[in-house]
Structure 1
Amino acid sequence: MFHRLWFCLWHLVGVFSDDKLKTVIVMEDDSFTLNSDLTEMRDDDQIHWRFGKYLLAEINKRTDSMTVYDDVLDGRFRNRLKLNNQTGSLTITNIKMKHGGFYTVENLNTSVIFMLIVYDEVTSVSVKEGDSVTLNSDLTEIMDDDQILWLFGSENTIIAEINLINDSICDDVLDGRFRDRLKLDNQTGSLTITNITTQHTGAYILINGAKPSLKAFRVSVYYSVHCCDSVEAVIRLVVTALVGVAAAAAVIVLVYDIRARRAEMDL
């Protein structure tokens, strides 16, 4: 079942245009809103939300009714659905792995499919600004049927991919923040970010549509602290102070010696 879901997921991306299929990747226990893309429902609007073939929620402005069916599928959605009566958007709270799948919103004019992917493990990576970091796919070799997709940020922007036809870097997205900084290993699917900056802080998602599998990384970038320079400066100050004290002591001894010699001569 899960394998078929991913197979359909991957091929639906090629079937529907971006405005008909939207990918949503959410961490387990988070909440997320599936937007109807309506700013305000009209008096004659009707909205239906479905999970697979099951009706989850509906709004009928003609009858001024709003209903949530959260007891379907053994109650997996119970007390987790919030329906916006103004826009028709649907919020799922405290998301679990079992909530992953295909959601459809239908109104009088159109329908949109949401592909909700839920993950439960995140690898935290901390890297110094200006350094490079490699996000490992954990694959030793990409097989002929592997389909690798790297996504970045809350909008799940595609930044790199390997498929049956070719491998490509999409580094001109997001105002070019990744331009000339990405290296994709076409043997393993691992992704390297070079000369990293704080702009590259965020979530990175690796999807292998053929396995199926998903890996999530949370990358944080910190500023370089020139501790060695600071320590060196302190050492120099200490040495200077010690030299100064030694010099002052030598002068005192010299003055005392001169005074002693003069006293002896006066005798």
Structure 2
Amino acid sequence: MFFWLCLCCWSLMGVFGAEANEIQSVSVMEGDSVTLNTDVTEIRNDDITWTFGAEKSLIAKIKKKKQIFSTYDVPDGRFRDRLKLDDQTGSLTITNTTTEHAGVYHLQMFGAKLTFKTFNVSVYARLPVPVISRDCSSSSSSSSSCSLVCSSVLKVCDATLSWYAGISVLSSISVCDLSISLSLPLEVEYQDKNTYSCVLNNPISNQTTHLDIHTLCHTCADSVHCCGPTEAVIRLVFSALVGVATVILVVYDIRSRRAEQDQAHIHTLGE
């Protein structure tokens, strides 16, 4: 039985001809559309099927002779209202992509020849602009240096945060831990003339923030300019609380001593 099945397959391939399975890698930004191309200008009498995932779930079908052009959803609903078929080429477009649409897509074209294609689709999250701030908690700063930190709230595994001096990479971090945010420190001199920038990138896009040394890095005589208004307010509030607590303790101590003196005076009079 197996022999006859193989013989039939070879016979069909001999009649129609067949192309080897072609594998293409496709990348798209989350929210954008991506088109998986059949690479033909016009389908004539072809039957086409598009499937998704290891289970090869049917998501689109074309029967050109019968003028049937259909798209299908999968049980979890990820393709609902997102699939479009080109009735001329048979290409498949996925609109408003999310990370759920990443995966393997299979194309089969049955016509004058058999065509098989596989598309590995990667969907990348949109990147936020990284933030550069003065690192007030650092103990490494000296009278001539400035401690900085670049951070991003993005929590994904496919992004890298880097410090650049000009076009040279100084340091990078890419941690696949969704419970933390990316953060990268940098120590510069106050009079440094280099051009620094912090870059957050993935394989298809990047976001860059340039360092303004004159704004963030200068002497810290004024805490408001040294660490920013938020940190300065926190320090002022903390200082005020310490001052109030000190006054309360002094008043309490004075009253306690007066009470002791009064008690001693009363005791003397009683004797």
Q: Do the structures match in fold with TM over 0.5?
A: no
* TM-score, reference length from structure 2: 0.44
RCO comparison, higher one (Cα < 8 Å, 6+): 1
Structure having the higher Rg: 2
TM-score normalised by structure 1 residue count:
0.44
